[in-house]
Structure 1
Amino acid sequence: MRWQGRRTSRNIEDRRGRRMTGSPAKLGGIGLLAVVLIGAFLGVDVTPFLGGGGMSPAPAPSGPNQIDDSAEEFVAVVLADTEAVWGEIFRNSNLQYVEPKLVLFNGRTSSACGLADAATGPFYCPNDQQVYLDTDFFRVMDTELGARGDFAKAYVVAHEVGHHVQNLLGTLEHSNRLRAQSSQAESNAISVRVELQADCYSGLWARAVQERFGVLEPGDIEEALNTAARIGDDALQRASRGVVVPDSFTHGTSDQRQRWFAAGYQSGDPQACDTFSARDL
């Protein structure tokens, strides 16, 4: 992906290097394990697993954020591309796109959904409409997940912004309400459809970016599909447990995640991302 020297988003808050104040949220046992497993492999909307927080970042410096390094520049360019794409899609539907903020941090930080730390991985918090990303996760992708390449990382950002789109459209609120009224297995099945739709939105974004800016390079889509395959629930469970438990899936299988990313990329149509009406995922 050609991203150097391109327009960057202003909606970046860089908290890296800032100390936390207060007391850390307590999280242990199974709860901590759940956060580690979900967060380390692109977990999203981790509010059910996060403690109440009690920690807050040191005050941010006044004035506009400055781009400090290549990691921040890359994320700011990808975020700017999501703003351009989703802003146009919403305008075409006579809707207003509210741009999310993306918070970069290292170690730990606070969010309106609770404490975020390295274990939570990238996630979207609907309570403050912000994406949280510890940039060290990019290293984890390279060295531990085998998800390499700049477009693999762009897919991560686009997926989280996909959850923001769901939040603006009311999909997240409706899904969470249904999950609260459902059994664990049914709740997991709803979560899978939420995640696969975000994957589809990522593919839709990828197509629009290429059509609008022509910045994709050979192999970029393959990088995204490789990442989708490596973070499928079946692949992760097989690698960590040696067994696969379909009823516990919350994000979808490798094939499903690839299929829905491809559906968005091939169609370029948000209506093609209706995972909730699909009989076969």
Structure 2
Amino acid sequence: MTFALVTGLGPASASASRTNAPSASQQVAPVTGTASDTTASTASASAKEQAPPRGRAAATASPLYRTGTLPTMRCQAGQIRAGSAASYRVFVTKLIRCLNLAWKTQFRKTNLGFSHPKLRFSTTKVNTPCGRWPSSAGGLYCSSNRTIYIAVTREVLKNAQPANHAQFIAHEYGHHVQRLAGIMDYYGRSIWRASSSTKLAFSRRLELQADCLASAFLRQAADDLPVEQAQWEAMVSWVSANGHKNWPKNDHGKGRSQAYWMERGFNAGSPSGCNTWTAPTGRVA
């Protein structure tokens, strides 16, 4: 069985995160589609909510690592028809709503505040407040406006496998989780004025953690999507052999590293398996 995967997994459909703060003059270019009311809404803060941790502890000792398994989800996202932009938009929108519910439930186990990301569809790779859309990416998360950008292109629409797209979208959502937990802030401060090699090392830890968080969610929604064992094994095998090919600078990790963290997240079904920040260098190569 062959899969053309979409998360750091296939040409023109990989994922990326951007953390650049926008200048006052930068504007978001028009995109096709609008954020749904559900994904654009922000959870009201309670008196018990605390600001996310700052510094290295935000990444190495996040409260999320102690929250147990994510809730079992029935996303009812439906099927994707090959070549159908409409079915893809519906699938992505419903999956984002499902991710909202899952991660809102998880954040309730901590004192950290939670808010939904915005969702934007685009038929072209537009500029964002975080800068240019990476040429090899089919989607990205911009931390400055907390928005997930999803490309709706012919290349993306060739793949009608829901599980492949779910992993990709959940990876982008994983960056939003990192933003809310203070991990993204630690990453941004750490790479400021750092050497090129240090920046790449931090980027790999960030991206591989998003792979792991995505897979933890996928495990908890596997019965509903569905994700069969043979399909999952084929996805991991493909990533191990090909996952690095869109990233010549090795800012997302080698294929075997991506596969390792995907399996850790899927086996755990929990953020507890996703602490890339204390992992040995060889595991985030």
So what's the TM-score if we normalise by structure 1?
A: 0.68
Matching of residues 99-110 of structure 1 within 5 Å: 99-110=116-127
Paired with 1:99 and 1:91, the residues of 2 have a C-alpha distance of: 14
From the superposition, tell whether residues 250 and 227 of structure 1 become closer, same or farther in structure 2 (CA, over 3 Å): same
Contact map agreement 2:217 2:266 (CA 8 A) in 1: yes
Number of the residue aligned with 1:56? 29
Paired with 2:34 and 2:135, the residues of 1 have a C-alpha distance of: 23
Number of the residue aligned with 1:45? 17
Code of the aligned partner of 1:74: F
Paired with 1:64 and 1:236, the residues of 2 have a C-alpha distance of: 33
Query: 1:54 Cα shift?
Result: 5.4
Contact map agreement 2:129 2:142 (CA 8 A) in 1: yes
Matching of residues 239-258 of structure 1 within 5 Å: 248-258=249-259
CA deviations 1:143-187 (Å, max 9, x no partner) are xxxxx7221111110000000000111111111211123210111
Instruction: Give the counterpart of 1:92 among 105, 109, 115.
Output: 109
Paired with 2:134 and 2:151, the residues of 1 have a C-alpha distance of: 8
Number of the residue aligned with 1:165? 177
- Higher-helix-fraction structure: 1
From the superposition, tell whether residues 138 and 86 of structure 1 become closer, same or farther in structure 2 (CA, over 3 Å): farther
Contact map agreement 1:159 1:201 (CA 8 A) in 2: yes
CA deviations 1:107-127 (Å, max 9, x no partner) are 244532235487653000001
Contact map agreement 1:53 1:115 (CA 8 A) in 2: no
Paired with 2:109 and 2:166, the residues of 1 have a C-alpha distance of: 24
Instruction: Give the counterpart of 2:164 among 152, 163, 174.
Output: 152
Query: 1:39 Cα shift?
Result: 8.9
Query: 1:62 Cα shift?
Result: 11
2:116 maps to 1:77: no
SS in 2 for 1:114: coil
CA RMSD of aligned residues (A): 3.5
Moved over 4 A (4+): 50-55, 58-65, 115-120
CA deviations 1:86-106 (Å, max 9, x no partner) are 111111223332111110111
Matching of residues 120-159 of structure 1 within 5 Å: 120-136=137-153, 139=156, 142=159, 149-159=161-171
Contact map agreement 1:264 1:272 (CA 8 A) in 2: yes
From the superposition, tell whether residues 130 and 220 of structure 1 become closer, same or farther in structure 2 (CA, over 3 Å): farther
Structure 2: which 5+ runs fail to align?
1-9, 39-84
Matching of residues 267-278 of structure 1 within 5 Å: 267-278=268-279
Number of the residue aligned with 2:52? none
From the superposition, tell whether residues 231 and 45 of structure 1 become closer, same or farther in structure 2 (CA, over 3 Å): farther
From the superposition, tell whether residues 122 and 215 of structure 1 become closer, same or farther in structure 2 (CA, over 3 Å): closer
Looking at both structures, which has the greater relative contact order when contacts are Cα pairs under 8 Å and sequence separation is at least 6? Answer: 2
Code of the aligned partner of 1:254: G
Paired with 1:61 and 1:162, the residues of 2 have a C-alpha distance of: 21
SS in 2 for 1:97: coil
CA deviations 1:186-216 (Å, max 9, x no partner) are 1101100100000000111112223xx6442
Number of the residue aligned with 2:5? none
SS in 2 for 1:40: coil
Number of the residue aligned with 1:216? 226
From the superposition, tell whether residues 71 and 262 of structure 1 become closer, same or farther in structure 2 (CA, over 3 Å): same
Contact map agreement 1:123 1:160 (CA 8 A) in 2: yes
From the superposition, tell whether residues 184 and 91 of structure 1 become closer, same or farther in structure 2 (CA, over 3 Å): same
- Count of residue pairs brought into register by the alignment: 225
Paired with 1:186 and 1:117, the residues of 2 have a C-alpha distance of: 20
From the superposition, tell whether residues 137 and 181 of structure 1 become closer, same or farther in structure 2 (CA, over 3 Å): farther
Paired with 2:12 and 2:269, the residues of 1 have a C-alpha distance of: 29
Number of the residue aligned with 1:28? none
Number of the residue aligned with 2:207? 195
Select between 193-202 and 104-113 the one with higher mean Cα deviation. Answer: 104-113
CA deviations 1:27-70 (Å, max 9, x no partner) are xxxxxxxxxxx99352412466x9985563289889969xx821
